[in-house]
Structure 1
Amino acid sequence: MKKLVLAALLLTAPALAAPLKTTASAEPTWKKSEAELAERLKTPGANARAKNVILIVGDGMGISTITAARIYEAQKKARAAGGTYPGFEGGEENLLSFERLPNRALVKTYNTNAQVPDSAGTASAMTNGAKTRIGVLGINPGQGPQTCATPAEFPTPLARLARDRGMGVGIVTTTRVTHATPAAMYAHAPSRDWEGADRDYGAEARKSGCPDIASQLIAFPGGMDVVLGGGLSKFRPRADEKGAGRDDGRDLIAEWQKANPKGSFVAAAPEFRALDPRSKTPVIGLFNASHLDFAVDADRQKEPSLAELATFAVRKLQSRPGNKGYVLMIEGGKIDHGHHLSNAYRALDETAELSEAVAQVLKLVDLKDTLVLVTADHSHVFTMAGYPPRGNDILGLIRPLPGGEGGGKTDEAGNSLDQKGRTMPTLGYANGPAEVRVGSRVLNSDKASTDPDFLQPKTFQTASESHGGEDVALFAGGPGSALASGTIEQSTIFHIMAHALGWE
């Protein structure tokens, strides 16, 4: 009887025989992450094995973003319900869907050469198991363009490790699928900007011989099961001299379709919604020439929502033949873009969109066999301050608490004034632009603070708001999630996933 049970377990478990082989294992941060993992292996549940892993990244989703977004989400639902939202007095009691996962840790995000990181270095840490420099993708800290001549020396990224073990692999993002965070799953690039053979990967840089990121995605060994997001211009030839697109004449989508004659390529929401996720053939969906639009600006007849994309990818990977499990990355990338504009409305709305996507994913998966990790690559210089009362509109102006903190001068509407006589919103930034454009819309600080196009005040005016360097949160549920505890290096997230999948 014991032999039969063992045989059944072996048939359903991930492949355990193939040890990790990657050049990243010689890096100091790899060894530090191994030590952090070892410290946690005696935790109850730490050695539970997962069949599947879903890594969900809220790009730029720092702690202050999570706090403000949970209030924003509740207040948005209350407005939609006519002003009442049972159980939530003002929104502060709310929890985003992923905050209900049982385990959590704080994550240190610095790059090997930068106190405040970027998405390329941080995503590489999570998908390669060791930290690296700012601005590079899937390469070790000491490597540069010359390593493209000997690609076997690059570290092996998460998607390749999974595919080599016969697992399904997928990517979902609201950015270009060649952008820093999703690209870290599969690509190696001395510069995150080398996304396509276009103006951002110039002639001088191409002398390195490094393939652009889009071509690496199409050439991914074994192919991806599902890729959904934006960035079509990185795959298609330039239509004219002024337009975006590849200048090498290659049509990577046509090349992919030739190699996958039964595969499906879609570029609009109706075509996507007509697909059957149970189909056994691969899918690429690219719904914008560049990044997808912010949810508040999007035309849902052209672009599906993040929740639609995420649930389709999960269903597709669940139906993949072979029953060997899967690894999926889901990125809410536009949170970061809203923050870079210093536009809290769009940043928080995108966080609520991610929360909805996670809620839908959690309905589809079984946490008995699927490890779900939700985290951020980095934070932003985003603040929530000023003693507003409970229930105050999170996007609104600060009003003083009766007889409490934050007293002082007010305007006729009862809003608190600073020492220069200016009203103050609850949300602000340490730096950012004075005015920006989103499509045909002009965003600035002249509008009401609750206007979607309002830019928060900032201490310093810069062309783009910057990342923050503080720790971010990791939320975890499922087999191996007990390893998410304390304060860890960002590269340890990779080791948590690898351990749960039995890749020692």
Structure 2
Amino acid sequence: MLRNTAAFALALTALGASANAQTADLPQAGSAWFADGKSVIDARLAQQPIAKRAKNVILFVADGMGVGTNFAIRVFDGQQKGMLGEENVLPYETFPNVALVKTYNINAQTPDSAPTAGAMNTGVKQRFNLINLGENAITKDCSTEADNALTTFGEIVHDMDKSVGIISTARLTHATPAAVYAKTAYRNWEDSAPEGCMDIASQLAAAMNSGLIDVALGGGRRHFLPKETTDPEGKTGRRKDGKDLVAEITAGGAQYVYDDETARAAKLDGTPLLGLFESSHMKYEYDRTGEPSLAEMTEMAITSLSTNANGYYLEIEGGRVDHANHAGNAFRTVTDGVAFAEAVAKAIEMTDEQETLIIVTADHEHSIAFNGYCGRGTPITGLCYGVDDQGVKHSDELVTADDGKPYPVIGYLNGPGSVLVKQEDGSYKGERPDLTQEQAMDPEYVQQALLPKSSESHSAEDVVAWAKGPYAHLLGGTIEQNVIFHIMMHAVTAE
């Protein structure tokens, strides 16, 4: 042992002082994996923190995209590009600063989107189902709102004469976008609230008319229109108070767009802009017709907000990643995830990292899981192929469980695809179906799950945050979710 250790030390010494000399004679030095690994270190050595005040801040939130969901998106995106998939790198995965983020709420191990988004917009953790209220506020208790209202990042930068924008593929009154402008004791008060409190849609109207919100693009038209009113798509509003908030907002000088045609005609010169592209949530990317993509809305917002010489804050949510996970439909989860990645790429293209801090993260993860042992390049939305011991790509043999049946790569711990089915006597029994690869890769396929639930649940595990731009180097390690606010805050106030 001593002789081998001494020989190893002498060998290392003989390799020379420089990194190149140390590695040049290693037998693995000719491998592409080795060269790629070294290039990562070289890039990190050359990386210099940008320690100057940020003019702009963009916060991307892929709702429901934790480590697992991001893995599925990465592989699917790569496979769509003709790769095996695992080696793919999403646009934000190139950012030099990365952290794990703890997502729990002050009263919940498994988080809700309202307080998680609120934590990122105020700097403090919050209570389940509340938006931007302090920890003494009580869910559904309207009387606790006034004394517990928190100041949002949007309000702070508005007072710095910056513009503020929101984009979401969900309803603009939904939890994550609402966290930019709303303060409420219950996230579901989207078009009505108890006496003495203001519903979320009315808060957005007030925010746009006061100049706090300059751009708001997403879904949720029904919450802005009276129940007697029919929108351009033939759907009726839900407001019982008779208010037409779209009319109120446009009367204040804002433009209103409701489909891809009117969106293309919008003036992006800084004139306030409201876009409500669906009665409820916007369409999944796979089903999208007649409305702009998340990347197109990102381009619209950045173009408009950039007319402010003082800069802007823009929160962009890929909201339907979450909804597809809830539905147990991995295909729409990953296709909306790719659309989210394309929006990040658009923002990178349109901004200067010397003046714009971009943070990409999620509010929470889902109970998604990945089966093994699958060979390289196995279709991420399909059934598990075996490992080929002599090649790189998977074998063409499906891997089977102990019941003799193949299984999908992606599953869920609970959800509508449960293998346990309710019987006439109220008990649950189940047997896994014998799937084909074609069936598993159908866009409508609902993944196999363990526990029966009509809607798959969030999970409590950490999510990731990636950052680039001014003071992005403050992001690192394992952090509480509310720290993201403090990074943004320092970036816009640093001397």
**Deviation by residue 1:234-259 (Cα, 9 ceiling, x = unmatched):** 10101379954101100011111112
Partner of 1:476: 467
Aligned mates of 2:78, 2:327 — CA distance in 1? 24
Equivalent residues in 2 for 1:123-142, closer than 5 Å = 123-142=117-136
Q: Which runs of 4+ in 1 moved over 4 A?
A: 145-150, 240-244, 444-447
For the 8 Å contact 1:74–1:94, the answer to whether it is kept is yes
Choose from 221, 243, 250 the match for 1:257.
250
Q: Percent identity?
A: 42
SS in 2 for 1:428: strand
In the alignment, does 2:409 pair up with 1:422?
no
Match for 1:248: what amino acid? D
Corresponding residue for 1:401? 387
- 2:194 aligned with 1:194: no
Per-residue deviation, 1:391 = 1.1
SS of the residue aligned with 1:342?
coil
* Aligned CA-pair RMSD: 2.3
How far 1:147 moved relative to its partner? 6.5
- 2:286 aligned counterpart, secondary structure: coil
1:312 pairs with 2:300: yes
1:274-328 Cα deviation digits (max 9, x unpaired): 1232x231100100000001010111xx2110000011101111112xx111100
The answer for the alignment partner of 1:23 in structure 2 is none
Are 1:486 and 2:477 matched, yes or no? yes
Match of 2:448 in 1: 457
Aligned residues: 422
Question: Would you say 1:227 and 2:221 are equivalent positions?
Answer: no
Distance 1:121 1:223 in 2: 21
List gaps (5 residues or longer) in structure 1: 1-42, 79-87, 405-409, 436-443
Q: Structure 1 residue 212 and structure 2 residue 199: aligned?
A: yes
Shift of 1:189: 0.8
Match of 1:118 among 112, 121, 127: 112
CA drift of 1:150 comes to: 6.9
**Contact map agreement 2:56 2:355 (CA 8 A) in 1:** yes
What's the CA shift for 1:382?
0.7
| Structure 2 gaps, min length 5 | 1-46, 419-431
Letter in 2 for 1:100: T
Taking the aligned partners of 2:404 and 2:181, their CA distance within structure 1 comes to 52
2:314 and 2:451 map into 1 onto residues whose CA distance is: 38
CA distance in 2 between counterparts of 1:153 and 1:400 reads: 56
SS in 2 for 1:296: helix
* Structure 2 residue 343 is matched with structure 1 residue 357: yes
Question: Post-superposition shift, 1:50?
Answer: 0.7
- The verdict on how the C-alpha distance between 1:52 and 1:152 changes in structure 2, with shifts beyond 3 A counting, is farther
1:332 maps to amino acid: G
Deviation of 1:132 (Å): 0.7
Instruction: After superposing the two structures, state which structure 1 stretch, 147-156 or 228-237, moved more.
Output: 147-156
Q: d(CA) in 2 for partners of 1:382 and 1:434?
A: 12
Which whole-Å deviations, capped at 9, do the CAs of 1:19-54 have from their partners, x for residues lacking one? xxxxxxxxxxxxxxxxxxxxxxxx973743211100
**2:358 partner SS:** strand
CA distance in 2, matches of 1:105, 1:285: 33
- Superposed, 1:161-200 pairs within 5 Å as 161-197=156-192
| Equivalent residue letter for 1:56 | F
Q: Which moved more, 1:414-423 or 1:493-502?
A: 414-423
Q: Does the 8 Å contact 2:221/2:276 carry over to 1?
A: yes
Q: Deviations over 1:307-364 (max 9, x none)?
A: 00011101111112xx111100000000000100011000011110000111011000
Secondary structure of 1:308's match?
helix
Distance 2:376 2:223 in 1: 47
User: Please, which of 271, 274, 277 is the counterpart of residue 284 of structure 1?
Assistant: 274
Separation in 2, partners of 1:47, 1:391: 41
* Partners of 2:58 and 2:357 within 8 A in 1: yes
8 Å CA contact retained: 1:68, 1:384: no
